[in-house]
Amino acid sequence: MKFYELPPAKRRELLKQQGIELDVIDTEVLDELNLLSENVVGQLRLPVGIVQNLRVNGQNYQVPMATEEPSVVAAANHGASIAAKAGGFIAESHRDGIWGQIILQVSENFQAAKLQAFFPELIKLTNNKFASLVNHGGGVKTITAKQEAELLFLKILVDPAEAMGANKVNSILEYMAAKLAACPGIEQKLFAILSNYPSQITKVKVEVPVAIIGGRKTAQKIALLSKIGQTDPMRAVTNNKGIMNGIDAVLLATGNDTRAVAAACGVWSSSSGSYTSLSEWIVQEDKLIGQLSVPLLIGTVGGSINSRKDIKQSYRILGRNITSNQLADIIAAIGLANNLAALLAIATQGIQKGHMKLQARNIVASLKATSQEQIAVLQKLVSSKKYSQAAAREFLQEVRKENNASRN
């Protein structure tokens, strides 16, 4: 049998025979994971942290974030807390659909007008074929065509309803391409596949009185940092990375596709013709005003969402009946909350002080020590402000000496 055909336990045995040491994993968990991916041999765990009070459109949410970086969760909580004092975030999602592409090679005598006349009938046929999606509020919405020499570019907008919709959209496009291939002047289909080009855009805004963040001078510095991010790609990409820290963590926790969103955000950042920050902050009168616009190809059903217990827990935290629009609003608000916290830190004490204090947890976690010893070492690292492996090892020796002395 080929490796992918073996049960996961057999794959693990083969790796062990190669001298590879594998972590212990529960058999039931391993079998469940094997249903989700290919060549499964183990698992990778991430901690799930909580943003306790994210206020969006007048409603409070507890938001799960899957990330191993404590500063990301801390920043999201800090930014959310500041925004809540100012009334919270206002967000709006435009989820018209997902773009699909069908590229056809056409003959010299091809007549685009005749094919375009077939589009309404094609939409009707397709929506009848995929009636279950239509019944949930989705379906094919529009088709537009553009011809360049012997190539015909078709752009199809498909509403996936509450789902991420990638697999469904690809099935729809394949069906449509097969119908189109029989039309006069069509020589061959080159491809029919969804595009991750930005389509489902979420805009979020917050207005913070300058007094909440330490005064007008601090607010003006944040606005200046933001202005630099609008024109300097080196600053913009780092600013956007901080935004994506928060967005990715919620995407992971809710079973959504981080790669699709990252790809779309990369294009969106360059839509003006040059790479720029996804967020913008300005000072007007006595308020710091921030806004963020991001493409979020997400869903609350589909993919592996319904088959993963850990993901289901995230939806229980968020609220069982949460819609895709609400989730997109939440994700964008988390991105702006992280951005606010980061810019505020840079404008005041600097980013590294708080970051290293939180990263001390990772340093301590690598020590071969009991949990009580790790807690004691963490306290010493924070109080001494020495954040290194060497300092952690020295403090561990001190803790053990102190423990031995207390026993005598």
Query: CA 243 to CA 26: how far, in whole Å?
Result: 36
> Is 241 assigned a catalytic role?
yes
Out of 69, 248, 280, 329, the active site residue is 69
For the chain, first and last CA: distance in Å?
A: 61
Out of 241, 353, 385, 401, the active site residue is 241
Out of 159, 162, 248, 257, the active site residue is 257
> Is 69 assigned a catalytic role?
yes
- Cβ neighbours of residue 11 under 8 Å, at least 6 residues apart? 3, 39, 40, 41
**Please, are residues 67 and 35 in contact by the beta-carbon 8 Å criterion?**
no
Burial grade of 64 (CB within 10 A; 0-12, 13-18, 19 or more): buried
> Is 68 assigned a catalytic role?
no
> Is 13 assigned a catalytic role?
no
Annotate the chain with three-state secondary structure.
CCHHHCCHHHHHHHHHHCCCCCCCCCHHHHHHHHCCCCCCCCCCCCCEEEEEEEEECCEEEEEEEECCCHHHHHHHHHHHHHHHHCCCEEEEEECCCEEEEEEEEECCCCCHHHHHHCHHHHHHHHHHHCHHHHHCCCEEEEEEEEEECCEEEEEEEEECCCECCHHHHHHHHHHHHHHHHCCCCEEEEEEEEECCCCCCEEEEEEEEEHHHHCCHHHHHHHHHHHHHHHHCHHHHHHHHHHHHHHHHHHHHHCCCCHHHHHHHHHHHHCCCCCCCCCEEEEEECCEEEEEEEEECCCCCECCCHHHCHHHHHHHHHHCCCCCHHHHHHHHHHHHHHHHHHHHHHHHCCCHHHHHHHHHHHHHHHCCCCCHHHHHHHHHHHHHHCCCCHHHHHHHHHHHHHHHHHHHC
Just list the catalytic residues: 69, 241, 257, 355
